[in-house]
A = this chain, B = another copy of it.
């Protein structure tokens, strides 16, 4: 009978998953999990919702769907897995195949021998070297214990929160704090929110939504220091754009993979500074596997190493490692960079490459910006969103999709992630037999519509101008005409106060075409630019040669409509 010694360092996501999978494959293996903390197998992604109060206890984050709390006794009884918690793995002796461990409570040292070792040591929130980062009231969100501290502060009198970093965690916690009537300021060094994931058009929509919910968003702002009072309690955040009152600060500027153990043992790290693994999730030592937030992955579409720590990926890694430490040959192909999150009433998502990434990688691309409803527009629960699709102008292959709005964004992101993984083209997307019924989608789903727009652009039928280019033309005082083809009611509801705007509803365009100059550049638009595009085609047919429509129309315009 086999008695392989499998030792797993890390007890949160990938670690317990790989141990449990190994147990199911090999009933006789000797399996041990070593965890530095006192909590096991918790859903870290649920912590913002615990702070908000949507989830009542941290126990819920550690429970199975059937309600069993995953503690050491659970692993022992249910999985026959030995758990050493409050135990720090302090070194790996690869020659002798042992892990040196230290008890957090007694500081006692011991050795744990292994045949196969799994590093699932996760990542920690970055602590940037701001003066004052150690003041009372300054938090990071690493574990349920941190969540408890933030929740306590929130419920016990804190009024002014500052979140440093407009990434996912920063925004998720913002919602939690705002729900408890704290004033929240988000400070972001880059020029937009969630800059690592979203392009200008989608990020501008999200920023507007945050502002509508009372959040003070400060982009292009650098934190210089945190200031405290006599008791050592933080009271302000000092930035290059002024000082902001704060009795609570969350530093959420990203996470760093925990690689010290691996590096000290001489294991190879990747260019993202996370642990390097092959497709079997083996490190440079074939008896040592690594997965979860401590490893780097391959981005399936760029083919490049990427560091995208996510609970879903950690679980996939765990299953594959569980296979391979018990004699299997499973492979992990890579990630699509998929990210989804909730921000107040908005759903936000991204998969594949953003336009920014295409630019950085030198990949040619064409985009569509399609605002639209998520369900049949006449169905009462229909909600809108703005979807941006990015594809190759040469092959038509889908490169990326991002979407933001109150509509069902995530369904489209999941379809896109699946399609991109399979190498689908915009023609394939246009033809997909997606589920259609009025409570779920429109007859032409927004994904198919976006694919059709790209197809129209690729074949030369549609010619558009992006919002940022139009903005530049406006700012530099170029001569052109903005042709608004919306109806009177729509114009009244959302006027574009700009002297260049001429309004001729699409239905009157053919009969009033003589009112338009053929020698001037014309940019057509409507609410979403379906009619804007149609107007471009009408004018093409009338012999106009300098017509383009505005990508995404008024609904996709990321700037103010009152701006010159």
Contact = CB atoms under 8 A, between A and B. Distances in A.
A443 B311 contact: yes
21 contacts: A13-B443, A24-B537, A27-B537, A27-B540, A43-B443, A45-B443, A49-B438, A54-B379, A55-B380, A78-B506, A310-B436, A311-B443, A312-B433, A314-B443, A408-B411, A410-B441, A411-B411, A411-B414, A418-B419, A421-B424, A422-B428
Nearest to A297: B433
A216 to B, nearest CB: 24
B430 A316 contact: yes
A56 to B, nearest CB: 9
Identical copies of this chain, number: 2
A365 B228 CA distance: 66
A496 interface: no
B338 A45 contact: no
Interface in A403-424: 408, 410-411, 413-415, 417-419, 421-424
Interface of A: 13, 23-25, 27-28, 43, 45-46, 49, 54-55, 60-61, 63, 65-68, 74, 77-78, 80, 300, 310-316, 319, 332-333, 335-342, 347, 349, 351, 372-373, 376-380, 408, 410-411, 413-415, 417-419, 421-424, 428, 430-441, 443-445, 448, 452, 461, 486-487, 489-490, 506-508, 510, 526-528, 530-531, 533-534, 537-538, 540-542
Given A67-B489, A410-B440, A379 B435 contact: no
Nearest to A341: B437
Contact of A437 (B65, B340, B542): B340
Contact of A77 (B341, B342, B373, B507): B507
A548 to B, nearest CB: 15
Given A25-B461, A337-B433, A421 B413 contact: no
A255 to B, nearest CB: 16
B25 A66 contact: no
Contacts of A338: 433-436
A438 B378 contact: no
Contact of A24 (B373, B445, B534): B534
